[in-house]
A and B are shown apart, each in its own frame.
Chain A
Amino acid sequence: MNTKLIKKGDLAVIAVIVAAALIFAFFNYRNAENPVAVITVDGVTVETVDLASVKEKITIKPQTAFNVEIAAENGEIWFEHSDCEDRLCVATGKLKNGGDTAVCLPAKTVITIMGSDVDAVVY
Chain B
Amino acid sequence: MKKAAAVIVAIVLAALAAFVVYDATLNKTVSESFFAMNTIVSAEVTGVSAKEDCTEIEKIVSRLDTETLSRTAEGSEIFRLNKNGGGEIGEKTAEYFSLLIDVCEKSGGAFDFTLGGVSDLWKFGSNPEIPDENALANALLHSGYKKVFLDGNTVSVSDLLVIDFGAAGKGIALDEIKNHLEASKAKRAVVAVGGSVLLYGEGEFTVGIRNPEGNSGSYLAKLKTDACCVSTSGSYEQSFEKNGRIYHHILDPKTGYPADNEVLSVTVVSDSGLLSDALSTACFVLGVEKGFELAEEYGARAVFVTKDKKIIARNNIEDIIEITNEDYTLVIQ
Question: Do A and B interact directly, with beta carbons closer than 8 Å?
Answer: yes
CA distance A48 to B215 in the complex (A): 9
- List the B side residues contacting A117 at CB < 8 Å: 206, 222
| Structural contact, B199 and A72, CB atoms closer than 8 A | no
**Does residue A16 face the partner (Cβ distance < 8 Å to B)?**
no
Q: 1/0 per position for B203-237, CB-CB distance to A under 8 A?
A: 00111111000111111001000000011101011
B267 to A122, Cβ gap below 8 A? yes
Q: How far is the CA of A119 from the CA of B190 in the complex (A)?
A: 7
A121 CA / B195 CA spacing, docked (Å): 7
The reply on A123 being an interface residue by CB < 8 A is yes
Known pairs A119-B199, A122-B232; A51 contacts B217 (CB<8 A): yes
Q: Closest Cβ of chain A: how far from B214's Cβ, in Å?
A: 7
Q: A120-B190, A120-B207, A122-B208 are in contact. Are A60 and B215 (CB under 8 A)?
A: yes
| Total A-B Cβ pairs within 8 A | 83
Closest A residue to B31 using CB positions: A33
| Residue from B194, B208, B216 with most neighbouring chain A CB atoms (10 Å) | B208
In the bound complex, what is the Cα–Cα distance between A54 and B40 (angstroms)? 11
Q: Which residues of A have CB within 8 Å of B234?
A: 123
**B206 and A55 contact, CB distance less than 8 A:** no
Is B271 at the interface (CB under 8 A from chain A)? no
User: Which chain B residues border A55 with CB–CB below 8 Å?
Assistant: 40, 216
Contact residues, B20-34 vs A (CB, 8 A): 29, 31
- Nearest to A54 among chain B residues (CB) is B217
Q: Which residues of A contact B230 (CB under 8 A)?
A: 120, 122
Please give me the residue from chain A that is nearest to B212 by CB atom. Answer: A123
Q: Which chain A residues (59-90) contact chain B, with CB distance < 8 Å? A: 60, 72
| C-alpha gap A49/B220 in the complex (Å) | 10
- Asked if A48 and B218 make an inter-chain contact with CB atoms under 8 angstroms apart, the answer reads yes
What size tier do the contact residues of chain B reach?
20 to 34
Query: In whole Å, how far is B307's beta carbon from the nearest beta carbon of chain A?
Result: 17
Tell me the dominant secondary structure on chain B's binding face.
Answer: strand
Taking CB atoms, residues of chain A closer than 8 Å to B40 are: 55
**Contact (A122, B217) CB under 8 Å given A33-B29, A55-B40:** no
- Is B110 among interface residues, defined by CB-CB distance under 8 A? no
B216 touches A122 (CB 8 A): no
A50 touches B217 (CB 8 A): yes
Nearest CB in chain B to that of A117: its residue: B206
* CB-defined contacts of A121 to chain B, threshold 8 Å: 195, 207-210, 217, 219
Contact A119-B215, Cβ < 8 Å, known A33-B44, A52-B42 = no
Residues of A within 8 A of B261 (CB): none
A99 to chain B, nearest CB (A): 19
Interface pair B195/A123, CB less than 8 Å apart: yes
Q: A53 within 8 Å of B by Cβ?
A: yes
With an 8 A cutoff between CB atoms, is B270 at the interface? no
5 residue pairs from A and B, CB less than 8 Å apart = A33-B29, A49-B215, A55-B216, A122-B196, A122-B197
User: Taking beta carbons and an 8 Å cutoff, which residues of A are in contact with B?
Assistant: 33, 36, 47-56, 58, 60, 72, 117-123
The 8 closest A-B pairs by CB, nearest first: A123-B195, A123-B210, A118-B208, A121-B208, A50-B217, A122-B232, A58-B215, A53-B217
